[in-house]
A and B are shown apart, each in its own frame.
Chain A
Amino acid sequence: MFMHHIFRSFFAPILILLLFGTMFLLGHYPNISMILGGIALFLIGMEYMESGFKAFSGSLLESILEKFTSSTPKAITAGFIVTAIVQSSSLVSIIIISFLSAELITLTSAVGVIFGSNIGTTATAWLVSTFGLKIKISAYAMPMIILGIFIPLFLKSHTWKGIASILIGLGIIFLGIGYMKEGFESLKEGIDLAQYAMAGYAGIFVYVLIGAVATVIVQSSSATMAIIITALATGQIDYANALALAIGANIGTTVTAALGSLKSNENGKRLAVAHFIFNIITGVIAIVFIYQLTELVDHLAAAIGIGTENYAMKLSLFHTIFNVIGVLTVSPFIHFLVRFLNTLFVPKGANKGKPKYLDDASLALPSTALSAIIMETKHLYENAFDIIVHGLNLKKKNVLSDMDLNEVIKDLYTRGSFDIDDFYNHWIKGIYSEIIEFSTKAQANMPPAHIEELYKLKLASRDIVEAVKDTKHLQKNLLRYTNSSNEHIREQYNDIRKGLAELLRNINTIATTEEEDVIILLISKAKVHAKRYDILTNGILDKLIRKDLISKEMATSLMNDSDYAYNISMNLIAMAEILFIDIKSDLKKLNEEMSISNEEVDLLIKDNK
């Protein structure tokens, strides 16, 4: 407490002193100020490009990453291409973590994408060395920024706004590179950093460390690469030391990823570990074989027409080559790596009542947010399934088997009591409120079509919760009358249990089958069977009372409880239509039209009497 007080008292004055100190230093060394300003502009430009690509590509990026990751080579290629185009490995990481959380791809594919993304990220170095250093700011960067600012004034669509953002980003990046280059050139007149060049392995280790630390500070390996290339192009650093700095930048970026994953779920953490292992192995290989790699770069550079003195492009080539070698070396062991990763960050203790898929990383994209909500609603249903089955005093394994339903209801779950309230509070309430909260957050960035889907999913969650609550109301009399000496009331309550067991079994089939005809028939059958609880209309209650087979109290209970059973059935059917049918692509187009109405259900019952 005392320390906290001291920290709070001194924090603001120290910060102000530091700010003044920095301003004083930058005022006296305008060249450093220009370089730092250039780095800042470069980072701002990267942000603009990332948000631009997000808006411009819409769900295209996600579709590519989802569809083309079925095998490791495909995943690596997809990771490479997407990262090279969008120039942001962090955006690709966010998408991949959210896909993993929503179980849209496997951990092996996700690791493959991250490997490919590492090669893709070397495109920034090519961009800087090929265009960035040669571009005339006045000729390209400024018009790009101006165009980017004016486009959204006339063209309001998301796509155009995305294009505008990309143009502004690219313009600011070139502007940043221009400032960095100018800063380094002017700095050379005062201080020559090249005099600190170090030869041999000592130099390599020192510069690897500097590269890593710089990347951790700047939080972007692309920005570090831009600094290295501009410093190299202006002759402020030695070529050999620049190679070591590039290796350091690759290692430093894993620290950035690890820091980012701290807020993420176990999948994000596993991917950060995979990234760390990959970059460390790649870094070690590059350090050990640095001289051989330098020779290889010289040969390849000559072969593809890069000039002997064009160190900036040779550095980009080196950066790409050692990342490709890293991928080729580590990829054959990807399955061992995944096996190891799966042993990490395994949640301990009972997590049944905690959300499994609602990771904030999924909120970045509408479709991943929607997938996360679908998965979480299914998780909610799994929990509700257990509660309803046990609340009806049935055994889960029997309900899920093909055992005769008359036998299923005879095999009791417990002779004692099952506290639904307790399970509701621990397994349902928390997840339900998290789904609603997450949906509200997700809705903010969603297009209308996704919002409609989201609304349906919220209804499905509510249906599940209502079904559990109704089971609780039903349970009291169900336990009492299934043990009654009156065989008639016993038979009625066992019939309710049997009907609901059949429904739960059918929903399980619907959830697991791919056959559209089976799904449609089971849903229709469930709707017809739910009518069995309408004991007032079907004459069962009337018959029992008239023949004096049950007491008035029993009749009232049966009437109320049949209502609960009907509501449970209808809620579960409505939920199944949204959660297990609506999302299956082929049936999605047909479900609403093929679904049978209440009138048709009545007609079927009438015809079948």
Chain B
Amino acid sequence: MSIKKFIESVKESLDLGEFEKKGKKKSLKHLLEKLHSRKEILDKVPKKKLNKKEKKAYEEEMAILSLQIKKAEKILEELNSNSSRNSKNHKGEKNGK
């Protein structure tokens, strides 16, 4: 067995492949928190006091924020569903053995 294959099998048996995904999930959750708190701050802005130009900028920022939150939530959901599917498969394989 080459050293590369050996490392791969160790990674597989220790579930280290999930490590990268977990790092990504953590970054994503962190980003989502920041985006949500930014949105909360924007929500508190008294819209009536804004002039036309400010209102346009406000709406633009809100639209971008909402889009980014939606995107981040979708990616997180996919990551969660993938990892739960993988863990089920892993357990299945082990039981099969």
Q: In the assembly, what is the distance between CA of A586 and CA of B30, in Å?
A: 10
Query: Which of A155, A589, A594, A607 is in CB contact (< 8 Å) with B3?
Result: A155
Residues from chain B with a CB closer than 8 A to the CB of A516 are: 27, 30-31, 34
Binary A-proximity of B55-92 (CB < 8 A = 1, otherwise 0): 01001110111011001100100000000000000000
Q: Is B46 an interface residue (CB 8 A)?
A: no
Binary B-proximity of A280-314 (CB < 8 A = 1, otherwise 0): 00000000000000000000000000000000000
Residues from chain A with a CB closer than 8 A to the CB of B28 are: 590
Q: In the assembly, what is the distance between CA of A524 and CA of B56, in Å?
A: 16
Q: In the assembly, what is the distance between CA of A515 and CA of B35, in Å?
A: 11
A-B contact number at CB 8 A = 67
Judged by DSSP, the binding face of A is helix
Query: Which of A156, A589, A604 is in CB contact (< 8 Å) with B67?
Result: A604
Interface range, B side: 20 to 34
Q: Is A608 an interface residue (CB 8 A)?
A: yes
Interface range, A side: 20 to 34
The answer to whether B67 touches A600, judged by C-beta atoms less than 8 angstroms apart, is yes
Q: For chain B residues 1-50, which have a beta carbon within 8 Å of chain A?
A: 2-4, 23-24, 27-28, 30-31, 34-35, 38
The answer to whether A589 touches B27, judged by C-beta atoms less than 8 angstroms apart, is yes
Residues from chain B with a CB closer than 8 A to the CB of A525 are: 60-61, 64
Q: Is A422 an interface residue (CB 8 A)?
A: no
Q: In the assembly, what is the distance between CA of A376 and CA of B4, in Å?
A: 34
The answer to whether B27 touches A604, judged by C-beta atoms less than 8 angstroms apart, is no
Given A157-B3, A594-B71, are A521 and B64 also a contact pair (CB < 8 Å)?
yes
The answer to whether B68 touches A524, judged by C-beta atoms less than 8 angstroms apart, is yes
The answer to whether B31 touches A157, judged by C-beta atoms less than 8 angstroms apart, is no
Given A157-B4, A160-B3, A589-B23, are A520 and B31 also a contact pair (CB < 8 Å)?
yes
Q: In the assembly, what is the distance between CA of A157 and CA of B56, in Å?
A: 59
Given A525-B61, A604-B60, are A520 and B27 also a contact pair (CB < 8 Å)?
no
Query: Which of A160, A517, A593, A608 is in CB contact (< 8 Å) with B34?
Result: A517
Q: In the assembly, what is the distance between CA of A596 and CA of B65, in Å?
A: 11
The answer to whether A521 touches B60, judged by C-beta atoms less than 8 angstroms apart, is no
The answer to whether A590 touches B4, judged by C-beta atoms less than 8 angstroms apart, is no
Residues from chain A with a CB closer than 8 A to the CB of B23 are: 589
Residues from chain B with a CB closer than 8 A to the CB of A596 are: 64, 67-68, 71
The answer to whether A517 touches B31, judged by C-beta atoms less than 8 angstroms apart, is yes
Chain A min CB distance to B95 (Å): 33
Q: Is A159 an interface residue (CB 8 A)?
A: yes
Nearest CB to that of A524 among chain B residues? B64
Residues from chain A with a CB closer than 8 A to the CB of B4 are: 157
The answer to whether B38 touches A517, judged by C-beta atoms less than 8 angstroms apart, is yes
Residues from chain B with a CB closer than 8 A to the CB of A277 are: none
Chain B min CB distance to A422 (Å): 38
Q: Is A528 an interface residue (CB 8 A)?
A: yes
The answer to whether B68 touches A159, judged by C-beta atoms less than 8 angstroms apart, is no
Top 5 A-B pairs, shortest CB-CB distance: A517-B34, A586-B27, A589-B24, A524-B64, A157-B3
- On B, residues with C-beta under 8 Å from A are 2-4, 23-24, 27-28, 30-31, 34-35, 38, 56, 59-61, 63-65, 67-68, 71-72, 75
Can you pick out 25 interface pairs between chain A and chain B where the beta carbons lie within 8 Å of each other?
A155-B3, A157-B3, A159-B3, A160-B3, A516-B27, A517-B34, A517-B35, A517-B38, A520-B31, A520-B35, A525-B60, A586-B31, A589-B23, A589-B27, A590-B31, A590-B72, A590-B75, A594-B68, A594-B71, A596-B67, A604-B60, A604-B63, A604-B64, A604-B67, A608-B56
